[in-house]
Structure 1
Amino acid sequence: MRISTLGFSMGAISAMMTQQSALAKLQNQVALGQRVSTPADDPIAFVHIQELQRAQSESEQFAKNSTLAKNRLSLEEQAFVDTTNVMSRVRDLIVQAGNTATLSDVDRESIATELAARLDELQAIANRQDGNGEYLFSGYSTRTEPFSGGDGTPISYVGDQGARQLQISSTQRVADSHNGFEVFVDIPQGNGIFDTGVNMSNTGSGMIDIGSVVDRPSWVPDDYTITFTSPTAYEITDGATPANVVQTGTYTSGAAITFNGVSVTITGVPATGDTFEVNQSRNESIFDTIGAVVDLLNMPAGDSTANAKLTSTLRGSLQQMDQATDHFLGVRAQVGVRLATIDSVDSSREAMDIDLKSTLSDLRDLDYAEAIAQMNQQLVGLQAAQMSYSKISNLSLFNYLR
């Protein structure tokens, strides 16, 4: 068979170009350290690599969200630590103020001054911000200062009642804080079932305790009034209009008055027409609780009637402080649960990231020893082809003619 010079040259050059292309591909793989960098290298592996890279990118975003949530929750936990310290001092001051036998009006005013300072401190804690300048307790409205007022005016919540959720895994979200209403405002009154109080217009020296629940199923939620029809007799009416008489009885100082599954004790000498309240529990802001004590301590006292009102009110305030402290501990426990959840999810994600990297390496990374061996083999083949082409292309019949 005869092969033309042109056909031989075209075939040889085409073969060498193919070898050069294969050698260049191997050189590029060695330079990048990757076996697959384009779909042409391995279509099936390339698709899996894209999926793994997307999973890695998603995991990185989850890690960022997790860090953000952990930072804000850690700041919130510290806020609860500081709040507990303030609450402890406030409770001590209220207990001190209840010593009506030894304190003068000036002494009580001094206590009120410190309580007002502790109230401002508590408001500052409730208005704390994170490192990005966002408020911890304002719900979704993270750029709005949650609690306004203070300096003698009522402190009110102006945020919303939402909680920002951050996704920390493909299936889990976690709230990065609590809103201020949930933490500082939505605190059950009294013992959580009912709350007692004394009418500030009373003229006698009667005092009411915080009461207790003796038969929970018998309790009928309502606002009840204990009215003294004489210094030795009382009647209990409900909150209906007109009011219904629930119970009547003979008063003995220190004897329990039990009705509708609850029991309260009144001591002292009530006057005819004096009233005491047993109201169903609602919610009460911690700022209102402390503010009411400040106002009360700034009022003159000293006679038996004023001391009775002061003692009854401070008893209720102490119970409310204990209720608020328990409430804060409950919310703080929720923060701890969220932080533990984040730690658990972080551990799982870190393990998954290791698996992703390993699988991605198996699919994409280059086996250098094998690649260099192939590259050397390809290089030898290319050099041999070039040398053979050089020799064969110089052959001519004229070299043998004399």
Structure 2
Amino acid sequence: MSMRISTQQLYNGGTSGIQRLQSEVYTLQNQVDTGRRIVTPKDDPVGAAQVLVVTQTQAVNELYIKNQQTATTKLGALDNVLGGVGEELKNIYDNALAAGNGSYSDSERAAVASELSERLKNLVSLANSQDGTGRYIFSGFQSTTTPFALSANASPYSLSNAYMSYSGDDGVQALQVSASQNLETSVPGSEVFMRVKDAAGNVTGRSMFDAVQNMVNFLKTPGASASSATYTQALGDITASMDNVLTVRAGVGSKLSSLESISNMAADQKLQYKEQLSNLEDLDYASALSSVSQKKLQLEAAMASFTLTSKLSLFDYI
């Protein structure tokens, strides 16, 4: 049984073949121009789905990396301020201890008291430190509120009759630095400056500021004796304040160390995701260019063949 092929069938078949080859050349050329094997999902549906998953996971990892960088900055600033507080307290302690020497005159103790007053101002300034965005470091969640201000109370000072009032809260700020970990990036001023703990972990009943101001007032008192309970208590409170700052700072240091490990892991994951995307998307240029040349030759042959075929007619042979 013979099959008849009409002129229309020849025309449709020829144009269809040419259009298919043109589409293939266009796709290959797009891949070469972009350097990517998958330009549109139809190029590789399964591969495109995998690219989407990896890209989304990569984007989440980038957010974690940004949070890690922010956390590093915040904890680094906190550590620096705590270091400054520790240095001021050490100077205050050394001067207060020296002033307990029985050979000191009233005027010499008064001079030490003046120096301690200046260092106390420095402590208050450090306690009211702000970060690079203008937010107060030690205000807890009330980061736009100045945490410490001079009270109107009279000495002797204690937590129930504080020298400095605290306007922040006990909130601890945190950032999610990995899929499974939130990292605390702040310490409330109440923990560092107000609720000072002794070596046994007990709250002394006086703030850091109370301790220093009580010592200043004692040294200003004519005939003050280092054997008095007032001096012993004030010096002990200053010692407890130093220990308390060291403890808080050690906690910040451990968080920085943990954050470094988390950041290193996130950086490794970033490289892994980049490699996965490269394996899925990157184009084999040598193979692609060879395919482009091959398809162009096929297209030229098809167009030439179609041109000749479309001119055929029985009338040419009559």
For normalisation by structure 2, the TM-score amounts to: 0.90
After superposition, give the CA deviation of every residue in 1:378-398 in whole Å (9 maximum; x if it has no partner): 111111000001112122233
Does 1:165 find its partner at 2:135? no
Q: 2:225 is matched with which residue?
A: 307
Aligned equivalents of 1:142, 1:38: Cα separation in 2: 48
| Contact 1:35-1:365 at 8 Å conserved across structures | yes
- Relative to structure 1, is the Cα distance of residues 9 and 134 closer, same or farther in structure 2, using a 3 angstrom cutoff? same
Q: 2:130 is matched with which residue?
A: 129
| Contact 2:147-2:166 at 8 Å conserved across structures | yes
Aligned equivalents of 1:184, 1:350: Cα separation in 2: 37
Does 1:319 find its partner at 2:236? yes
* 2:272 aligned residue (328, 351, 355): 355
Aligned equivalents of 1:358, 1:150: Cα separation in 2: 60
After superposition, give the CA deviation of every residue in 1:239-292 in whole Å (9 maximum; x if it has no partner): xxxxxxxxxxxxxxxxxxxxxxxxxxxxxxxxxxxxxxxxxx544210111111
Give the deviation of 1:338 after TM superposition: 0.6
Give the deviation of 1:2 after TM superposition: 2.9
* 1:378 aligned residue (274, 295, 317): 295
Aligned equivalents of 1:160, 1:37: Cα separation in 2: 53
Larger relative strand fraction:
1
* Greater relative contact order structure (CA < 8 Å, 6+ sep): 2
After superposition, give the CA deviation of every residue in 1:345-378 in whole Å (9 maximum; x if it has no partner): 1111111111111111111222112222222111
What are the residue-to-residue correspondences of 1:164-243 with 2, within 5 Å? 164-189=173-198, 192=200
| Contact 1:188-1:284 at 8 Å conserved across structures | no
| Contact 1:98-1:311 at 8 Å conserved across structures | no
Q: Secondary structure of the residue that 1:174 maps to in structure 2?
A: strand
After superposition, give the CA deviation of every residue in 1:116-170 in whole Å (9 maximum; x if it has no partner): 1111100111111111111111111221121122799821211111111101111
After superposition, give the CA deviation of every residue in 1:277-316 in whole Å (9 maximum; x if it has no partner): xxxx5442101111111222233x32xxx537x6322122
Does 1:87 find its partner at 2:9? no
Aligned equivalents of 2:31, 2:82: Cα separation in 1: 56
- Relative to structure 1, is the Cα distance of residues 83 and 297 closer, same or farther in structure 2, using a 3 angstrom cutoff? same
Moved over 3 A (4+): 150-153, 191-194
Q: Could you tell me the percent identity over the aligned residues?
A: 34
Q: 1:50 is matched with which residue?
A: 52
Q: 1:330 is matched with which residue?
A: 247
Aligned equivalents of 1:36, 1:151: Cα separation in 2: 72
* 1:29 aligned residue (23, 28, 31): 31
Q: 2:119 is matched with which residue?
A: 118
* 1:96 aligned residue (95, 98, 102): 98
For normalisation by structure 1, the TM-score amounts to: 0.72
Structure with bigger gyration radius: 1
Give the deviation of 1:85 after TM superposition: 1.4
Give the deviation of 1:115 after TM superposition: 1.1
Amino acid at match of 2:14: A
Amino acid at match of 1:84: G
RMSD: 2.1
Q: 2:12 is matched with which residue?
A: 10
| Contact 2:64-2:176 at 8 Å conserved across structures | yes
Amino acid at match of 2:191: E
| Count of aligned pairs | 308
Q: 1:59 is matched with which residue?
A: 61
Give the deviation of 1:101 after TM superposition: 4.0
